[in-house]
């Protein structure tokens, strides 16, 4: 007697669809969601397996909700219409890519005729544009009642002058995530149109002084903010963001020791719990942690700071970047208990000052995480030895010892964030 066999064609419909939907799921959660050619997508492949399969797949609206188009390549308009039809009334994730060449007026026309009638069901939208704003224009006065996630990415010429982007001025009442890369936003005359945003990313080059203040002022519920800051004038406006819990700032390389402090001092974020500074140098870290006051900012509940340097620098070997010792605990961060230093220059000196045998006690400090490259100044082994000494002497003196972790930085740090996995090599 032969055992009953299960083949794909004997699976129940619901299971087939569930499997296919599961296969799509990480396409929306990945940061580069969706980008790829239409014909390589699973719903196409699956719909060609067999007749029965085809009917099941085509009849499952959930499988036709990830839409991507450049409006121009062959068949794209037909494919687009097919997705809109097969997805029935489901919510959609849509990626619009501006083609490198298009006849004048064609994009405006296609967006208006094909996308706008469906815009009310779009939940996630990413627009990648590069030439002019022909593709964006039709969206200006539109309302998007279901839009939760919006990304606007400019990928064109570095020096091209681009006008601010104006979108969805009639309301995006569910929008919680907004990411704008290398573009700026023109604010709606209706001040509450961005009121539901909790997560905002402003990346690329822009003038933070006027723009950032105006945008953040329109987001009264903001809890997470990611920024690139390339330049700040000395008398810059400050940003008061009472709801902010998480702040990630990428700083353009700057040699002045007080530059990092200057940027942190721009923010008045009394609810901030976690701060990540990308692009810092050890002498700037020491300067910041030494400050005796920040006249107009306070960080009473800030518990975690990460200092990251993604590249390599010669601060430790070149004259002109003197390191000034610091003495804990840091007055301006009274609750700081998790300190993360990744690929920082002067790491050896920082560790000795913060935590070494001669350092002052810093009772709130609970964890120190240190990531270093093999070839870093002070070397991985050197840092390990310094930490070892520090822990020993703390124990001997009966002082509380924070949890210490040391890991080797191997991969590129460009995308490092607080969730990146680390391979801890030594811990105390
Ligand atoms: C960190 O800074 C580097 C260098 O400026 C940059 O290339 C990288 O994209 C930044 N990472 C993030 C997540 O902002
Ligand atoms: Zn440096």
DSSP 54-121: HHHHHT-GGGG-EEEE-S-STTHHHHHHHHHHHTTT--EEEEEE--S---TTHHHHHIIIIIGGGGGG
pLDDT tens track for 216-236: 889 999 999 999 998 887 788
Calculate how far, in angstroms, residue 336's C-alpha sits from the geometric centre of ligand 2: 23
Across residues 270-287, what is the average pLDDT?
96
pLDDT of res. 31: 46
**Which residue owns the Cα nearest ligand 1 atom 13?**
415
Task: Taking residues 187-208, report their average pLDDT.
Answer: 87
**Residue 1: what pLDDT?**
45
Give the model's confidence band at 207: pLDDT under 50 very low, under 70 low, under 90 confident, else very high: confident
Q: What does the DSSP 8-state code read for residue 4? A: P
For residues 288-325, b (16+ Cβ closer than 10 Å) or e, as one string? bbbbeebeebbbeebbbbbbbbeeebebbeeeebebee
**pLDDT value at position 357?**
86
The rounded Å distance from CA 256 to ligand 1 centre is: 19
Average pLDDT for 134-150: 94
Confirm or reject: Cβ of 278 under 6 Å from ligand 1: yes
- CB distance 76 to ligand 1 below 6 Å: no
13-27, 92-106, 237-251, 375-389: which has the minimum mean pLDDT? 13-27
Structure confidence at residue 148 (pLDDT): 96
Position 74 confidence tier, pLDDT thresholds 50, 70, 90: confident
pLDDT digits (tens, 9 = 90+) for 29-42: 554 555 554 545 77
If we measure between CA atoms, which residue out of 192, 183, 138, 179 comes closest to residue 165?
Answer: 183
Cβ 254 under 6 angstroms from ligand 1: no
Output the CA angle 247-249-250, nearest 5 degrees. 155
The whole-number average pLDDT for the span 375-391 is: 81
Most confident of 16-25, 224-233, 404-413: 224-233
**41-68 average pLDDT score:** 83
Report d(CA 46, CA 63) in Å as an integer.
Answer: 10
Relative to the alpha carbon of 420, which ligand is closest? Answer: 1
Pick the most confident of 4-8, 89-93, 255-259, 377-381: 89-93
Name the nearest CA neighbour of 215 among 184, 247, 258. 184
Whether the CB of 298 sits within 6 Å of ligand 1: no
Minimum-distance ligand 1 atom for the alpha carbon of 251? 5
Question: Using CB atoms within 10 A of its CB, is residue 249 exposed (0-12), middle (13-18) or buried (19+)?
Answer: buried
Ligand 1 close to Cβ of residue 282 (< 6 A): no
Query: CA angle at residue 163 from 158 to 164, to 5 degrees?
Result: 105
Distance (angstroms) between ligand 1 centre and the Cα of 369 equals: 20
Domain-wise residue ranges, the chain: 1-149+158-167, 225-428
Percent pLDDT > 70 in the chain is 92
User: At residue 310, does pLDDT exceed 70?
Assistant: yes
Please check the confidence at residue 377 and state whether its pLDDT lies above 60: no
Residue 262 has pLDDT above 80, yes or no: yes
If 0-12 CB within 10 Å is exposed, 13-18 middle and 19+ buried, where does residue 79 land? Answer: middle
Which mutation among 310, 311, 419 tests ligand 1's pocket best, with the greatest number of atoms within 8 A of CB? 310
Q: Specify which of 85-89, 97-101, 419-423 reaches the highest per-range mean pLDDT.
A: 85-89
Does the predicted TM-score (pTM) go above 0.75?
yes
The angle that helices 347-355 and 282-290 make with each other, rounded to 10 degrees, is 30
Size of the chain in residues? 428
Rg, the chain, Cα only = 26
- Residues of the chain with pLDDT > 90, as a percent, come to 48
Mutate to test the pocket of ligand 1, among 250, 307, 416 (most ligand atoms within 8 A of CB): 250
What does the pLDDT average to over 161-174? 89
State the pLDDT at residue 27.
66
Instruction: Take atom 6 of ligand 1 and give the residue whose Cα is closest.
Output: 414
Atom of ligand 1 minimally distant from the CA of 279 = 2
Is there an atom of ligand 1 within 6 Å of 65 CB? no
> Is the predicted pLDDT of residue 49 greater than 70, yes or no?
yes
Q: What is the mean pLDDT of the chain?
A: 87
Q: Which ligand is nearest to the CA of 254?
A: 2
Surrounding ion ligand 2 within 5 Å at CB are: 281, 313, 315, 345
| Cα(366) to centroid(ligand 1), Å | 27
Residue nearest to atom 7 of ligand 1 (CA): 414
Given a cut of 80, whether residue 47 has pLDDT beyond it is no
Give me the pLDDT at residue 73, please: 85
């Amino acid at each position: 007697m032969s055992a009953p066999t299960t083949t794909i064609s004997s699976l129940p419909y619901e299971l087939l669809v569930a499997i296919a939907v599961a296969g799509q799921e990480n396409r929306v959660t990945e940061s580069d969601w969706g980008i790829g050619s239409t014909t390589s997508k699973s719903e196409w492949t699956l719909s060609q397996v067999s007749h029965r399969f085809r009917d099941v797949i085509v009849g499952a609206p959930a499988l036709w909700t990830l839409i991507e188009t450049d409006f121009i390549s062959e068949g794209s308009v037909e494919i687009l219409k097919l997705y809109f039809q097969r997805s029935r009334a489901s919510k959609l994730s849509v990626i619009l890519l501006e083609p490198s060449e298009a006849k004048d007026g064609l994009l405006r026309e296609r967006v208006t005729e094909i996308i706008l009638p469906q815009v009310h069901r779009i939940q996630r939208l990413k627009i990648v544009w590069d030439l002019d704003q022909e593709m964006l224009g039709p969206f200006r006065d539109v309302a998007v009642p279901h839009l939760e996630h919006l990304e606007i990415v400019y990928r064109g010429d570095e020096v091209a002058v681009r006008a601010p982007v104006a979108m969805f001025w009639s309301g995006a009442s569910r929008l919680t995530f907004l990411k704008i890369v290398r573009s700026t936003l023109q604010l709606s005359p209706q001040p509450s149109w961005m009121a539901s945003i909790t997560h905002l990313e402003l990346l690329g080059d822009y003038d933070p002084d006027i723009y950032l203040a105006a945008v953040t002022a329109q987001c009264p519920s903001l809890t997470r903010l990611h920024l690139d800051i390339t330049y700040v004038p000395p008398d810059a406006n400050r940003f008061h963001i009472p709801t902010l819990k998480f702040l990630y700032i990428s700083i353009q390389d700057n040699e002045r020791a007080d530059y990092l402090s200057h940027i942190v001092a721009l923010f008045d974020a009394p609810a901030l719990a976690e701060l990540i500074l990308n692009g810092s140098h050890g002498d700037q870290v020491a300067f910041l942690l030494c400050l005796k006051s920040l006249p107009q900012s306070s960080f009473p509940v800030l518990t975690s700071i990460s200092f990251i340097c993604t590249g390599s620098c010669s601060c430790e070997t070149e004259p002109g970047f003197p390191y000034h010792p610091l003495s804990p605990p840091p007055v301006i961060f009274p609750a700081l208990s998790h300190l993360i230093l990744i690929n920082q220059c002067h790491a050896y000196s920082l560790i000795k000052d913060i935590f070494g045998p001669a350092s002052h006690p810093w009772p709130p400090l609970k964890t120190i995480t240190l990531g270093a490259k093999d070839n870093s100044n002070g070397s991985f082994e050197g840092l390990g030895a310094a930490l070892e000494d520090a822990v020993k002497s703390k124990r001997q003196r009966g002082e509380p010892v924070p949890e210490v972790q040391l890991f080797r930085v191997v991969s590129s740090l460009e995308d490092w964030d607080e969730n990146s996995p680390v391979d801890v090599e030594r811990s105390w």
